[in-house]
Every structure is written in C-alpha cells, then in structure tokens.
Amino acid sequence: MKSIKKTIAYFFTGLVLIFALIAILGIWDIIALDNLLRKMFGSVLVIMAAAAVIVFLFGVLIRDNSDQDV
C-alpha cells in the first residue's frame, strides 16, 4: 500500500512540474494558453478522482491481513 501511495505521489509531483513548465512558457508567450489551462485542470481532476478510487479499492477491498490475527 505504501508503494502505491509513493507512486501516486511521484506521479502527481511530475504532473505539477509539467504544468508549471507549461504555465511559465505561457506567461512568456512562447505557447498559447487559450483553452489549455482549462483542459489541464480538467485532466488533473479526472486523474485525481481515478487515483482516489484506486487507493480506496486497494485500501478497502484488497487489504493486507498481516496485522490481524485470524
């Protein structure tokens, strides 16, 4: 479970860095940001929702039963 959380954290960190780079390029008018920002944030929202569902499924349905004495 911890490795999944680490992987998701690294993935979101990479997304933030990529989006920051795109925003800086847009500020300096190197690229046009007409609808790009809206699409980027919509994409991040969808990815975050999917990641939350996956973490929930792993946390609830596929638990590590090593902590419990059966």
pLDDT 10s digits, 40-60: 788 888 878 888 887 887 777
**Residue 65: pLDDT band with limits 50, 70, 90:** low
Long-range CB contact pairs, 5-13, < 8 A, 24+: 5/55, 8/51, 8/55, 11/51, 12/48, 12/51
Give the chain as a DSSP string.
-HHHHHHHHHHHHHHHHHHHHHHHHHHTTSS--TTHHHHHHHHHHHHHHHHHHHHHHHHHTS--GGGS--
pLDDT at site 40: 79
Q: Which residue has the tokens 């039963």?
A: 65
